[in-house]
Amino acid sequence: MTGAPDDRLRRARLTGARSARAVAAIALGGTAALGVPASPAAAAPTHVAIVVAGVGTACASAGGTGLTVVSSRFTVRTGQAPPYLGFVLTINDTGTLRPDSTHYWSYWHNTGSGWTYSTSGAGSYRPSAGTVEGWSFVNGSSSAPKPPRISYATICASSDPRPVTRPPAPTHARTSAAPRRSTAVPPAPHTSARHTLSARSPAQPRSTAHARSAARSTVPARRTAPTQNAVTPRTPRAKHNSAAPTSRAQSGPAATVALSDVPPVHPSSASAVPTIGAAAALVVLVALGGFAFWQVRRRAG
Amino acid sequence: MHRNGRLLHPAAWWLWALGLAYAAMRTNNAILLLAIVCVAGVVVSTRRGPAPWANAYSLLLKLGALTVVVTMLLQLLLGVRTPGHVLVHLPSAPLPHWAGGISIGGDVSAEAMLNAFVSGLRLAVLIACFGAANALAHPARLVRIMPAALYEVGVAIVVAMTIVPQLAESVVRVRAAQRLRGRRVTGLSGLRGILVPVLELALERAIALAASMDSRGYGRRAEQPPAVRRFAGGGVLLGLGAAVVGTYQLISGGGQRLGVGLLAGGTLVALAAGFVAGRRTRRTRYRPDQWRAAEWLVLGCGVLVALSYALAVHDPLAAGVALEWPPLRPLPFVATLVAALPAVATPEPPGLAPRGHAAVRSVQIAALEESVRA
């Protein structure tokens, strides 16, 4: 599984990829121009577009920090203990709970002139409306790959609910024991904007014609690749520690999710009552503590 | 009356407590952390000696509770704001850009508070493990079993480690004395009346310690040529320095192999130098501590806990805990409970007078203290 970063680096060094990107940028301007008149949101932007490489895109209302923006649409797990306090660890369960200098989510802004690496943390940066926030997971490489370039107009063109098909089987059933991402889902840093987010998969020759027609009808074609999971509705937070696979299993049939209808709520906790084992353990502990206390009192006379 | 009771070897208790502390370092599961505290409390309650410092556990338990409260307060007031279930919204004051990531107020999430509680609890458990070791075997008894080359270092460590319990003891004594005199012990004026005598006591204690160390020949080497002495001292210093650098390498995640090598090599060099230095030092011990079956049992319990946590517990500590009841991990939980075995399976400490005989007890305590100082 160590071949992926090298692969990606080699791909990044190809000059062809760069020129393809330039072409894509020009083409993107075209699609954006096509999208503008159709959408009232683009006229006076009130939202922030989010591109999470390898996971999906979403449109969130502006106001708040980059962290609150991304966590309003995705299940974001942040570090809760030093040295990773407030550090974005996983987005929709993609990422790692044990980050290091080559495994982390990189944070990008696109304010109109392409992706720029963020110079401040997501918790302190406040994205302005009409900009695109990018996240791409650095998986073992020394430099952070840019997220796929998708314009604000493409993502936030319409506030109407857009039907989205969810893939039948997510490819990244992650556990805490296997912190590294499967290499089958690269973040696709250098794809053309017309491709889907997981356009690198050779099994998916998504035609440009299809993507263009999708862009015209202001419905991006990014949800159709079955190798990638889309923005899923929030599931109850999975127990990352417990041995039992609880809520992680996202059920099979392709569900239709309206992106804009995903309510910005937080995952409800799995259970308000302890399991039987935990309750028994607590009873044992109370008994032990009571014994110690009684022993102290007895010896004190 | 337990005439044939005995105090266990101090190293056994300290290694046992070290095993528990290591376990607490590896987990952020509240059930396991509470289990460690309870087990330590049970063992301390049944196997501590009748000496004043045996109260160290309850004292440090209170300090641990304070740690939890302070951690949660800091999280509430100044913590990093992470998204989650909003528990309370505090009025926030926007700070200028140069203030960096510090935030005041804002949305306090339940996740953040829970994690602050758990991290405070971890620290409290560590403190409690230290307190348990202190209560079960006074650090001064550890100095007696130190290799001769490390004797000076050991004494310095013991003086440093006992400063907090001794200060606390001084405060209690001075407060009692002031109360008997009918003076105030609260408020600012009361603080002055306590602070000055406590500092005075500390100074007197230091002078007494220096005098007793001098009278016992502290720092003198027996018939060693200067070259050997210098070699041994340098070796110990070099070895310990290498061990520190190796530990830093391991923690910082720089070079794992280099870190392990430096740590192992440094420890070996320090041990060898200590052996060379100690070979010709004549130091006798009065009634040396014995290592018998009970000590093996205590050590085995500590090793069992450390091993089971090392093998079975892989908590992502940086990610914190989710907002839910902690799951029960059976293997480490049972291993932790097994560590309470010394509470019943080891000989009782000596000199536990039947209740009511305060005079007998105080004489026994004095005798015990004397035997430790010797």
A83 prior amide bond cis, ω within 30: yes
**Chain A residues 30-59 with CB within 8 Å of chain B:** none
Query: What is the C-alpha to C-alpha distance for residues A238 and B60, in angstroms, rounded to an integer?
Result: 36
Q: Are B112 and B79 in contact (CB under 8 A)?
A: yes
Write the residue in A177, A292, A299 that is nearest to B42 by C-beta: A292
- Nearest-Cα residue of chain A relative to residue B97: A124
pLDDT band for position B275 (cuts 50, 70, 90): confident
The whole-number average pLDDT for the span B45-49 is: 88
The single-letter code of the amino acid at A37 is P
Above 60 in pLDDT, residue B227?
yes
- Distances from the Cα of B199 to the Cα of A57, B43, B193, B320, angstroms: 65, 34, 11, 42
The residues that bridge with B90 in the sheet, in sequence order, are: B106
Contact A275 B44 (CB under 8 A): no
Tokens 């895109």 belong to residue:
A57
- Nearest-Cα residue of chain B relative to residue A68: B83
Q: Which of A94, A100, A120, A241 to mutate to test the interface with B (most CBs of B within 10 A)?
A: A241
Average pLDDT, chain B: 83
Above 80 in pLDDT, residue A172?
no
Above 80 in pLDDT, residue A168?
no
- pLDDT, residue B224, reads 72
Tokens 């649409």 belong to residue:
A73
Neighbours of A81 (CB within 10 A): 19
More confident position, A148 or A7: A148
Question: Which one, of A274, A288, A184, A14, lies nearest residue B338 by Cα?
Answer: A288
- Nearest-Cα residue of chain A relative to residue B102: A124
**Chain A partners of B111 at a C-beta cutoff of 8 Å?**
80
Above 60 in pLDDT, residue B283?
yes
Above 70 in pLDDT, residue A192?
no
**Chain B residues 267-326 with CB within 8 Å of chain A:** 314-326
The residues that bridge with A76 in the sheet, in sequence order, are: A91
More confident position, B9 or B287: B9
* Residue A264 near chain B (CB below 8 Å): no
**Chain B partners of A94 at a C-beta cutoff of 8 Å?**
none
**Chain A residues 208-227 with CB within 8 Å of chain B:** none
Query: What is the C-alpha to C-alpha distance for residues B319 and B84, in angstroms, rounded to an integer?
Result: 13
Contact B253 A100 (CB under 8 A): yes
Contact A87 B318 (CB under 8 A): yes
- pLDDT, residue B52, reads 67
Contact B83 A86 (CB under 8 A): no
Query: What is the C-alpha to C-alpha distance for residues B18 and B304, in angstroms, rounded to an integer?
Result: 12
**Chain B partners of A81 at a C-beta cutoff of 8 Å?**
28, 115, 119, 317-320
- How far does the CA of residue B36 sit from the closest CA of chain A (Å)? 9
- pLDDT, residue A141, reads 86
Write the residue in A97, A240, A281 that is nearest to B31 by C-beta: A281
**Chain B partners of A92 at a C-beta cutoff of 8 Å?**
none
Query: What is the C-alpha to C-alpha distance for residues B59 and A65, in angstroms, rounded to an integer?
Result: 44
Query: What is the C-alpha to C-alpha distance for residues A210 and B349, in angstroms, rounded to an integer?
Result: 83
> E strands of chain A, at which residues?
47-52, 56-61, 76-78, 88-91, 94-95, 103-110, 115-117, 132-139, 163-165, 256-258
- Nearest-Cα residue of chain A relative to residue B100: A124
Tokens 């989510």 belong to residue:
A105
The residues that bridge with B109 in the sheet, in sequence order, are: B86
Structure tokens at A238: 């999975």
**Chain B partners of A76 at a C-beta cutoff of 8 Å?**
83
List alpha helices for chain B, DSSP H. Answer: 10-26, 30-47, 56-78, 110-136, 139-144, 151-161, 163-180, 187-215, 226-252, 256-279, 293-312, 330-338, 342-345, 358-373
Contact B83 A78 (CB under 8 A): yes
Query: What is the C-alpha to C-alpha distance for residues B328 and B338, in angstroms, rounded to an integer?
Result: 16
Best mean pLDDT range from A64-73, A158-167, B360-369: A64-73
The single-letter code of the amino acid at B306 is A
**Chain A partners of B319 at a C-beta cutoff of 8 Å?**
77, 79-81, 84, 89, 97-98, 240
**Chain B partners of A74 at a C-beta cutoff of 8 Å?**
none
pLDDT tens for each residue of B58-90: 888 999 999 999 999 998 888 777 778 888 888
Does residue B168 sit in helix, strand or coil?
Answer: helix
- pLDDT, residue A64, reads 84
**Chain B partners of A245 at a C-beta cutoff of 8 Å?**
none
pLDDT tens for each residue of B295-352: 999 999 999 999 999 999 988 887 888 888 888 889 999 999 999 999 999 998 886 5
Q: Which of B325, B329, B334, B361 to mutate to test the interface with A (most CBs of A within 10 A)?
A: B325
The whole-number average pLDDT for the span B216-237 is: 77
Above 70 in pLDDT, residue A281?
yes
* Residue A283 near chain B (CB below 8 Å): no
pLDDT band for position B183 (cuts 50, 70, 90): confident
Angle between helices B330-338 and A276-300 (to 10 degrees): 10
Angle between helices B10-26 and B30-47 (to 10 degrees): 170
**Chain A residues 181-210 with CB within 8 Å of chain B:** none
List, in order, residues 6 or more apart from A16 with CB less than 8 Å away: none
Contact A176 B314 (CB under 8 A): yes
Query: What is the C-alpha to C-alpha distance for residues B162 and B369, in angstroms, rounded to an integer?
Result: 15
Query: What is the C-alpha to C-alpha distance for residues A8 and A144, in angstroms, rounded to an integer?
Result: 11
**Chain B partners of A123 at a C-beta cutoff of 8 Å?**
80-82, 101
- How far does the CA of residue A131 sit from the closest CA of chain B (Å)? 21
* Residue B6 near chain A (CB below 8 Å): no
Neighbours of B132 (CB within 10 A): 29
pLDDT tens for each residue of B105-163: 778 889 889 999 999 999 999 999 999 998 898 877 887 777 666 677 777 877 887 77
**CA neighbours closer than 13 Å in the CB half-sphere of residue B309:** 27
**Chain B partners of A290 at a C-beta cutoff of 8 Å?**
none
**Chain B partners of A100 at a C-beta cutoff of 8 Å?**
253
Long-range contacts (CB closer than 8 Å, 24 or more residues apart) made by A198-207 = A198/A54, A198/A225, A198/A227, A198/A228, A199/A148, A199/A225, A201/A225, A201/A227, A203/A227
Q: Which of B1, B20, B87, B328 to mutate to test the interface with A (most CBs of A within 10 A)?
A: B328
Does residue B309 sit in helix, strand or coil?
Answer: helix
List, in order, residues 6 or more apart from A2 with CB less than 8 Å away: A140
pLDDT band for position B99 (cuts 50, 70, 90): low
pLDDT band for position A97 (cuts 50, 70, 90): confident
Contact A67 B328 (CB under 8 A): no
**Chain B partners of A278 at a C-beta cutoff of 8 Å?**
31, 325-328
* Residue B254 near chain A (CB below 8 Å): no
- pLDDT, residue A188, reads 39
Structure tokens at A231: 């923005």
ipTM at complex level: 0.72
- How far does the CA of residue A176 sit from the closest CA of chain B (Å)? 8
Structure tokens at A237: 């937070």
pLDDT band for position A101 (cuts 50, 70, 90): confident
The predicted model scores a pTM of 0.67
